[in-house]
């Protein structure tokens, strides 16, 4: 029979079992943390009617979309989890309670140009809080605090969440008489870390036609830095120039105050006036998250406050705040940079049971008893040499092998071999179970191994 060459499409991540275990553990940690903050899981279709998914229309994204016909239907694969959330909330508005807090971890699709580290199918892990008409400012502090706790639970240590407020920026630009140009200025200032202040000044004075002294003021404002209290103190000097600016300053102060009540240490967040986010969509607090030892990677988790989640579907005013982790890219970057924790157990089982008798029943019964205690067990019943079975355990990093031959059976015991030390002991099944369970419990289980603080 002629064969088809098996292959996986480029831009689609497909992991080997140990790495997949790490990825699963990351998702499990995120589900746990998101749940602890009172977010409910959501799952929406990967396919939506194009008319619904592209209601907003236009933009760079539309070119990248996987769009196709099936029968009469014009369909598209989702390219993020925000548009499906907007649809969901508009559609089920009457059945939801607000503020509505949901998380969603799911795949999205963008037909980007294929290149290393860019994915066409990737997981996003999103959280959003949606208010009905209004939403209290405290959510704007809670969202980054969840990210702090999530990354910490994953094992990441050296990262910082940068916080800014678009009202501060818009209000400040307005105070310079540049009200109409707010969006353009923000998009330009957002490029500071990529293109530097000189090129930003060139664009501000050239393309945007802003007077050089105002461009200089903008850059001076953006460059304010120091400890959070110092930045906030410096900003007080701008108070009174514009009502929106003042409101933004109040919000920023409140967010900083609540961040510490939410348990985020000062070392892990910074007021950064250079963070603007390119999207017009954001209206208040905005976030970016950087790895301190790898600023070149850019933000690994971004988001912000918006005033109108679902304006394309409903007249209801639905303000919200959300943040998104690009999980597939983050995983790729962590693997590249050597951050995956090799000490995290990735074996498919805690023990490999090796039957040494023709009738497998005693070995199977032992495996059943171990599994009833919550231990993960494989039974290796193939006709192979003993040495090959040990090397199977070794290759999969299964920490224990349990042998059951006539001798053991007649004594009502089992032989337990510790694959690390090579030591083999004759034990009761209960004692073997205890030893296996203890070792499984003691193993570290953060998927990320970071340098200490």
Q: Residues 151 to 190: which contact its own copies by CB under 8 A?
A: none
The CB-of-333 to its own copies minimum distance in angstroms stands at: 18
Say which residues have a Cβ less than 8 Å from residue 116's Cβ, sequence separation at least 6: none
The CB-of-97 to its own copies minimum distance in angstroms stands at: 5
Could you give the CA distance from residue 422 to residue 193 in angstroms, rounded to a whole number? 53
Among 109, 221, 331, 339, binds its own copies (CB under 8 A): 109
Near its own copies in 25-64, by CB under 8 A: 35-49, 51-52, 55
Nearer to its own copies, 365 or 424 (CB): 365
- The window from 183-191, 265-273, 388-396, 408-416 that contacts its own copies (CB under 8 A) reads 388-396
The CB-of-56 to its own copies minimum distance in angstroms stands at: 9
Among 62, 80, 202, 311, binds its own copies (CB under 8 A): 311
Near its own copies in 71-100, by CB under 8 A: 71, 73, 75, 86-88, 90-92, 95-97, 99
Binding mask 336-375 for its own copies (x = CB under 8 A): ------------xx--x-------xxx-xx-xx--xx-xx
Say which residues have a Cβ less than 8 Å from residue 12's Cβ, sequence separation at least 6: 119, 120, 121
Nearer to its own copies, 33 or 249 (CB): 33
The CB-of-190 to its own copies minimum distance in angstroms stands at: 26
304: left (phi over 0), alpha (psi -120 to 50) or beta: left
**CA 27 to the chain's CA centroid:** 8
Say which residues have a Cβ less than 8 Å from residue 162's Cβ, sequence separation at least 6: 269, 270, 271, 272, 275, 287, 288, 289, 290
Near its own copies in 125-144, by CB under 8 A: 131, 134-136, 138-139, 141-142
Near its own copies in 226-255, by CB under 8 A: none
State both tokens at 342. Answer: 């090799």
Q: How many CA atoms lie within 13 A of 357 on its CB side?
A: 15
Burial of residue 212, with CB atoms counted within 10 A of its CB: 0-12 exposed, 13-18 middle, 19 or more buried: exposed
Near its own copies in 251-290, by CB under 8 A: 257-258, 261-263
User: In the 3-class helix/strand/coil scheme, how is 267-278 assigned residue by residue?
Assistant: HHEEECCCCCCC
């Amino acid at each position: 029979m002629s064969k088809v060459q098996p292959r996986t499409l480029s831009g689609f991540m497909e992991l080997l079992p140990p790495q997949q275990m790490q990825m699963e553990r990351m998702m499990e940690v995120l589900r746990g943390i998101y749940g602890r903050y009172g977010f409910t899981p959501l799952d929406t279709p990967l396919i939506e009617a194009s008319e619904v998914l592209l209601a907003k229309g236009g933009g760079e994204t539309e070119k990248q979309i996987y769009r196709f016909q099936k029968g009469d239907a014009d369909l598209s694969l989702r390219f993020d989890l925000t548009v499906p959330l907007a649809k969901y909330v508009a559609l089920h508005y009457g059945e939801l309670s607000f503020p509505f807090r949901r998380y969603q971890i799911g795949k999205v699709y963008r037909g980007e140009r294929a290149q290393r580290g860019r994915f066409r199918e990737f997981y996003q892990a999103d959280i959003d809080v949606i208010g009905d008409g209004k939403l209290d400012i405290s959510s704007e502090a809670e969202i980054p605090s969840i990210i702090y706790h999530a990354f910490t639970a994953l094992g990441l240590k050296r990262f910082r969440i940068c916080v800014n407020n678009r009202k501060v920026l818009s209000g400040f630009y307005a105070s310079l008489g540049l009200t109409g140009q707010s969006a353009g200025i923000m998009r330009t200032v957002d490029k500071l870390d990529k293109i530097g202040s000189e090129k930003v000044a060139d664009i501000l004075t050239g393309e945007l036609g802003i007077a050089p002294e105002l461009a200089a003021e903008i850059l001076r404002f953006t460059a304010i830095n120091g400890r959070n209290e110092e930045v906030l103190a410096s900003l007080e000097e701008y108070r009174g120039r514009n009502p929106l600016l003042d409101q933004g300053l109040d919000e920023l102060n409140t967010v900083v105050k609540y961040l510490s009540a939410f348990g985020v240490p000062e070392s892990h967040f910074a007021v950064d006036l250079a963070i603007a986010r390119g999207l017009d969509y954001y209206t208040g607090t905005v976030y970016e998250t950087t790895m301190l030892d790898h600023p070149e990677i850019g933000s690994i988790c971004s988001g912000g406050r918006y005033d109108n989640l679902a304006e394309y579907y409903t007249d209801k005013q639905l303000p919200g705040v959300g943040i998104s982790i690009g999980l597939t890219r983050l995983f790729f970057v962590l693997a590249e940079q050597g951050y995956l924790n090799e000490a995290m157990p990735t074996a498919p089982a805690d023990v490999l049971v090796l039957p040494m008798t023709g009738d497998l029943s005693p070995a199977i019964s032992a495996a059943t008893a171990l599994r009833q205690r919550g231990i993960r067990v494989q039974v290796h019943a193939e006709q192979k040499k003993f040495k090959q079975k040990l090397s199977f355990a070794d290759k999969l990093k299964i920490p224990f092998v349990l042998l059951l031959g006539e001798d053991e059976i007649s004594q009502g015991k089992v032989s337990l071999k510790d694959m690390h030390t090579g030591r083999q002991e004759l034990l009761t099944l209960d004692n073997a179970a205890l030893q296996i369970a203890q070792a499984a419990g003691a193993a570290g289980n953060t998927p990320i191994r970071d340098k200490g603080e």
